Structure 1
Amino acid sequence: MVEGALPPPPGVIPNFDHPKKTVWIANIVTQALCLSIVGVLMALRVHVRASVTRNWGKDDWLCIVGWILSVGYSATALTMGHFGGGINQWEVPKSQIESFGKTVYVTMVLYGPCAFFIKTSILIFLTRVFAPYQRAVMGIYIFIGFMLGYYLPVIVIKAMICRPVEVFWDADIKGQCFNQRALILADSCISVLSDLIIFALPLPLASDLHMPLKKKLRVAAVFSAGGLACVASVIRLVDIVHNGTSPNQTLIFMRVNLWGIAEVNIGLICACLPVLPAFYRYHFAKTLNRTGYTGYNSTDRSIEMMDSAHRKRNNVTMKNIPDFGSDENVLIGDKVQQGSLETSVHGNSEPQGHGNRRPSMDDQQMIMKTVEVHQTFT
């Protein structure tokens, strides 16, 4: 006769052959969506940064590490479901509860570094895009330092949550443990706070950009899509507060875990969204009139990018041309329209129409790029 891992409530008869699997099914669907959708977006991000914009940075390495950890997080959740996660504990065979406890331990350890690397990747990207705002950049680095100061010791505490560690999943072994619910609750509170900060941070920065209101709203929407991550982290926190002490842990913990997985994968999606415009413009945009970007190949002429530090002759300086090597230009610098290119020959960098006029404050504050090109006609 099969013995359940928890005595059933009064009047409930366990069904080990056909248990209720609502959360169990939700786990399968969630992991399938996260692994497939986020996997594709990460592949696009790597392609754009490595082959299109060619401005690979620290945020890309951080994002890749966060994605690898999220894959491990999802794989552990699927393993957890195999050992009864998402099913009422009184309908989970007692023989499986120890293996379930091991998967809980792994997810506890994985969640912190996974969330940290993803959030840090987004923040580092913000420092690149909004580099002229030095105070904001300094504030972002301070915030990253605070997150590191929290996550680093908490990861160590979680890894050593019991002495010996086996006590965590085997109640028959004597030992001592930290309060598991308190650690998860602290994680949830920090996640809600950090998600809210990352969600709100781009809004005032985007409002100061010198561009039409429609484009400001577009930029703010791209960066603030993390509001969905805030929703997931808040629901996770509420679930822990209301149900964290329930003995039905195979069901409750899986539900809490799903909200954590949703949070980190939404973060990865937000980290990949800003590179998608460059992917579209490089592969699908055809004319300058449609996109404001010039093509790389032409039957009439070829444009060879030159390094201004080494090339001094036969060059044409073209201002305000968006380049794929700059995040701010790819995302927010769509300023060129057909017929509005400003050019000067032989390295003269003075824009047309300005003469000797002293630059205004608007001119000084705008994010500008000067690209030198060499034209060869065939």
Structure 2
Amino acid sequence: MSDSDNSTAVGFTRDDIDAILSACRIVGAGSPNLPYPNLLIYDLIVKYADWIDSVNYNFTPEDLTAEFGTRPQDAPVMIDFLGGVDVMGPFLVAVADNGALLPHPGTTTIIVPLFIALTVISSIAVVLRIWSRQMLAGGLKLFDHLTILAFFMTVAWGAVAVHHSKNNGKYQAYWDVSWNTLRQHYKIYLILTAFYPWVMAVIKMSLLVLYYQLSKMNYIKWAVFATGAITIGNSIAGFFFAIFACSPVAWWDDFLQEPCKLNQRAGLVATGAIYILTDIATWALPIPLIFQLKLGTREKILAICTFAIGTVACIASGFRLDAILKYQDFSADSSSPLLIDAWTIIELNIALICGCAPMIRALIIFYAPKIITSVSTATTTSKSIPEDIASNGDEKLEHVS
């Protein structure tokens, strides 16, 4: 799933890697006005190390501002974050001197093929759903239009995720990218995080509106209302949390002032867990509807199995939640959240495909007898052709004689 070059650290402990990753963000954020916007952060650390050595490890916040363009309010904070003057100097020099030992984990390459494959499958599912509704139901209704909207939103989310994967470049470690690249990464990830709740909300609402219109049982309708209210509420909370967890919203431009007061991973885990609960409720709601239909036992079992496909979406949601726990915050194992993007693409597309499954099943049931009849007729005709030819031939011969 990833390209890697010297992906294993030699001579560094996990704590060392964590400390160096943290220092890379601090040094990058503390040097926003350098005339090297695309300079790799490791090369920037080398410049710091050379300068620190040239001033005999004695420098002040004002010196950082004059030499590297560090904002006056950021310079003392930067020094404090890196352990003070007595620690910052030797630490950055040691990192610069041991750069050859740093690992270079590659960026995952799964995003683009995953996006293409699932978009193709989702497109087929949505087209078959529209065909089914036009042929068997006389046209599209509100829940169908919501599904179409959800499809385009899912494609848009995936396209931004592809851009996110391309922005990171070949390598994911902070020392292998520039601060400009990191800034873009944070910006794109904020867009993805804020947009995701609305995509999920529309997918779920397309199913809930369908259940509401199909059901004549009041308790099912109330359950639909409750699930819908929780879904919408969770989506609103997820959106505003993504936008306002940090102040200012463009927190990467004020990185050293600790703009993020709320735990972003905890917020994403909370909204993700609630989505899993509403997933379970959404896919369980049709079961009472099936039992109120006048169907044989076999047909009811098949109908339940069709809706039970939705459990796959619940499983995908679980894997996405696990990815958030592992990759939302950087560590020695990974400094990229792209696997969160990958599982989100899977989750959204599977939910969309599962939502189309009942309509596709209806289309298959409608056309299967006709296809079987056509095949049977064709087979019968092909078997009778030699006899017809022989008979016609005899008649012609008799007529000639």
Residues 1:20 and 2:58 aligned together? no
| Structure 1 segment 119-198 matched on structure 2, within 5 A | 119-129=204-214, 131-168=215-252, 171=255, 175-198=259-282
Q: Give the Cα–Cα distance (whole angstroms) in 1 for the partners of residues 230 and 271 of structure 2.
A: 14
| Cα distance, 1:245–1:253 mapped onto 2, change above 3 Å | same
CA apart distance, 1:119: 0.8
The change in CA–CA distance for 1:54 and 1:250 in structure 2 (over 3 A counts) is farther
Code of the aligned partner of 2:106: K
Segments of 5+ residues of structure 2 without an aligned counterpart are 1-38, 46-94, 375-401
**Structure 1 residues 78 and 250: CA distance shift in structure 2, 3 A:** farther
How many residues of Structure 1 are paired with residues of Structure 2 in the alignment?
284
Structure 1 portions without partners, runs of 5+: 291-378
Aligned to 1:106: 191
Please state how far the C-alpha of 1:115 moved relative to its aligned partner: 0.5
TM alignment of 1:287-326, pairs within 5 A: none
Q: Residue 81 of structure 1 aligns with which residue?
A: 165
Change in Cα spacing, 1:280 to 1:200, as seen in structure 2 (3 Å) is closer
Cα pair 1:38 1:265 within 8 Å, conserved: yes
Contact 1:85–1:254 (8 Å) recurs in 2 = no
Separation in structure 1 between the aligned mates of residue 138 and residue 206 of structure 2, nearest angstrom: 17
Distance 1:111 1:48 in 2: 28
Q: Confirm or deny: 8 A CA contact 1:27 1:86 kept in the other structure.
A: no
Q: CA deviation at 1:238?
A: 2.6
2:385 maps to what in 1?
A: none
User: Could you tell me how far apart the structure 2 residues matched to 1:248 and 1:57 are?
Assistant: 50
- Check conservation: 2:208, 2:224, Cα contact below 8 A: yes
Q: Is the 8 A contact 1:206 1:220 kept in 2?
A: yes
* 1:80–1:104 CA contact under 8 A, matched in 2: yes
Contact 2:276 2:318 in 1 (8 A): yes
Is 2:185 aligned against 1:96?
A: no
Q: Aligned in 2, Cα 1:115/1:248: closer, same or farther, shift over 3 Å?
A: farther
TM-score by length of 1: 0.65
Amino acid at match of 2:356: C
1:60 maps onto 2:133 in alignment: no
Q: How do 1:333-352 and structure 2 match up within 5 A?
A: none
Question: Please, which moves more after superposition, 209-218 or 81-90?
Answer: 81-90
CA contact (8 A) 2:150 2:202 kept: yes
Deviation (angstroms), 1:245: 3.6
Pick closer, same or farther for the CA change 1:110–1:208 going to 2, 3 Å. Answer: same
Aligned equivalents of 1:122, 1:62: Cα separation in 2: 9
> Secondary structure of the equivalent of 2:41?
coil
Distance 1:275 1:248, change over 3 A: farther
Q: Counterpart in 2 of 1:270? A: 354
CA RMSD of aligned residues (A): 3.3
Distance in 2, matches of 1:150 and 1:162, equals 19
2:200 matched residue in structure 1: 115
1:299 is matched with which residue? none
Say which structure is richer in strand.
1
Mapped partners of 2:322, 2:221: distance in 1: 32
Is 91-100 or 67-76 further displaced after alignment?
91-100
**Alpha-carbon deviation of 1:51?**
5.5
Letter in 1 for 2:41: E
Deviation, structure 1 residue 210: 3.5
Distance change (3 Å), C-alpha of 1:102 and 1:122: same
Whether 2:341 is the aligned partner of 1:257: answer yes
Instruction: Quickly say closer, same or farther: Cα 1:48–1:12, change in 2 above 3 A.
Output: farther
**1:86–1:69 CA distance, 2 compared to 1 (3 A):** farther
How far apart are residue 250 of structure 1 and its match?
Answer: 6.8
Query: Which deviations, in whole Å up to 9, do the C-alpha atoms of 1:324-375 show, x marking residues without a partner?
Result: xxxxxxxxxxxxxxxxxxxxxxxxxxxxxxxxxxxxxxxxxxxxxxxxxxxx
- Following superposition, the deviation at residue 207 of structure 1 comes to 4.0
Q: 2:340 and 2:371 mapped to 1: Cα distance?
A: 49
Answer 1 or 2: which has greater helix percent: 2
Partner of 2:77: none
Q: Is the 8 Å Cα contact of residues 229 and 267 (structure 1) preserved in structure 2?
A: yes
Instruction: Give the CA deviation at 1:228.
Output: 0.8
Identity of aligned residues (%): 21
CA 1:249–1:186 in 2, change beyond 3 Å: closer, same or farther?
A: farther
CA distance in 2, matches of 1:274, 1:55: 16
Tell me the amino acid that sits aligned with residue 159 of structure 1: I
Shift of 1:89: 2.1
Superposed CA deviations along residues 215-258 of structure 1, whole A, max 9, x for unmatched, are 11111111121111111111222333345443469755211222
Counterpart among 271, 289, 294 of residue 210 in structure 1: 294
Contact 1:163 1:176 in 2 (8 A): yes
